[in-house]
Structure 1
């Protein structure tokens, strides 16, 4: 497989693993594809075979590729990738775009999990939690109308969802939120790229987030769960996973019943 277009490599095996992993996560190579040979990687990046082998060992350990003696390496199915491994979480940080199949898998998890989290937050949120949610929402509102503040808007959006994870007051969910943060950022960046093209999209997104905040503030679990699901429904529309003609999203990976 061609390595043309990949950025220059500087650093050791960890940096090379990060470069190759980010290309995989962005969809440069698809599941089942042959992965570049050790010798080709050595030549292209002008590095030692030992450095290449150490980098490939990291990709293998995180489930991204499978290596077979005498047959080289192949990209594994997305279902085999260890998406909650801290290494993959680190590799996702700052990535501009993810493979569409990976986007759908991450979204499917969020659509299943975050409405439940909003319900927990409505039940357990304390004053400090509400202050974090309100600060994030006000930041989203303040930066929504300015294309120049798009990065700030994304940061506030991520902070809003992070505050919901924290407000659940469940240690495991909070840790999950930390590990998923880079993938959540990637999804929000993708949806915001579409939302910022249309002012009505921004207004709609803010309205939906505001309903989540209000339901949590009122300690109304049912309303919080419904409102969080509607936020994610808007995200699915912006990402092109469904169209706005769908009344409900049952799953990103299974047809509606």
Structure 2
């Protein structure tokens, strides 16, 4: 299984690359400040020469940073008008960089609510369709994903940090297996975008709970995942849809609990 870092700046979404070193630092600095509201929509951000001095980087780094921020929809640069902040509806909100900057800027709760809305709208329908059209190969894939998830859940020997990583991976693999059963390239691409968001969400939930699965209600969550799995294997599409909806509702409760813990840790 490939190891993923949910807080990295990479994504399966084409065109998003990881930015390291001086460029990555400058990009993260300005991106976080923009999404955090240091400059309002339509405002001209600091001049190139001022940013060179402030960030202690070259003009080429600032220009490349502007280019990347423009590609992500955050700014627009024009010779006659300078570099200005774009309206929020122009931002690529599912870009993993933008999501991470929102978190760093303190916009975590808004991001969380958006992600959970996507899940409650999308995933019950996905599992309904997957259950309706799955063949034997699809069922085997889902079974293997479920077995891996159970193994992680029952693991009592792995250190918490590694267990958290395994939990995230097996959870995503389980949900991804239903997507695969539908055989839709468009849906595959959509999940690839959402997956980056889900990794961030799951990682933050687990961190909020101090790296232990029990603290964010994983016992009940595991039972609900099992109900989804059982209804899928039984070929009960309606039952699988209902079970997934209950699972996402529980995930919403767990997420809110986790972020309350995180808020308390930050203020303490």
Q: What is the TM-score when the length of structure 1 is the normalising length?
A: 0.72
2:219 pairs with 1:203: yes
Q: Between Structure 1 and Structure 2, which shows a larger proportion of helix residues?
A: 2
Q: Which moved more, 1:53-62 or 1:178-187?
A: 53-62
1:178 paired residue number: 192
Give the equivalent residue in structure 1 for 2:40: 32
The answer as to whether partners of 1:129 and 1:167 remain within 8 angstroms in 2 is yes
Unaligned runs of 5+ in 1: 1-7, 243-257
The superposition leaves residues 44-76 of structure 1 with CA deviations (integer Å, 9 ceiling, x where unpaired) of 443222331222122122222345755643364
Written as runs of structure 1 = structure 2, the 5 A alignment for 1:9-158 is 10=21, 12=23, 15=24, 19-20=28-29, 23=32, 28-29=36-37, 32=40, 35=45, 37-67=47-77, 70=81, 72-74=83-85, 76-77=87-88, 79-83=89-93, 88-89=95-96, 91=97, 97=103, 99-100=107-108, 101-144=110-153, 146=156, 147-148=160-161, 149-158=163-172
Question: Secondary structure of the residue that 1:32 maps to in structure 2?
Answer: coil
User: More deviation in 32-41 or 59-68?
Assistant: 32-41
Which among 203, 206, 224 is matched to residue 189 of structure 1? Answer: 203
Judging changes above 3 Å, is the alpha-carbon distance between structure 1 residues 19 and 236 closer, same or farther for their aligned structure 2 residues?
A: same
How many aligned positions are there?
228
Q: 1:134 to 1:158 in 2, by over 3 A?
A: same
Say which of 167, 175, 182 aligns to 1:168.
182
Q: Are 2:75 and 2:83, in contact at CA under 8 Å, matched by a contact in 1?
A: no
Structure 2: which 5+ residue stretches go unaligned? 1-18, 259-268
Shift of 1:225: 1.1
| Alignment CA distance shift 1:72-1:22 (3 Å) | closer
1:21-52 CA distances to partner (integer Å, 9 max, x unpaired)?
Answer: 77369x64478376554334322443222331
**After TM superposition, where is structure 1 displaced by more than 6 Å over at least 4 residues in a row?**
92-96
Q: Compared with structure 1, are the counterparts of its residues 60 and 22 closer, same or farther at alpha carbon in structure 2 (3 Å cutoff)?
A: closer
Residue by residue over 1:209-228, the C-alpha shift from the partner in whole angstroms, topping out at 9 and shown as x without a partner, is 11111111122111111111
Task: Work out the CA distance in 2 between the residues paired with 1:202 and 1:117.
Answer: 22
Alpha carbons of 1:31 and 1:209: their partners in 2 closer, same or farther (altered >3 Å)? farther
Task: Give CA-to-partner distance per residue, 1:172-231, whole Å, 9 cap, x none.
Answer: 111211222211111222333456363681110111111111111122111111111111
Counterpart residue number, 1:255: none
Q: TM-score when scaled to structure 2? A: 0.70
- Alpha-carbon distance change, 61 to 95 in structure 1, aligned in 2, over 3 angstroms: closer
Aligned CA RMSD, in angstroms, stands at 3.5
Contact preservation (8 Å) 1:17, 1:58: no
Contact 1:66–1:73 (8 Å) recurs in 2? yes
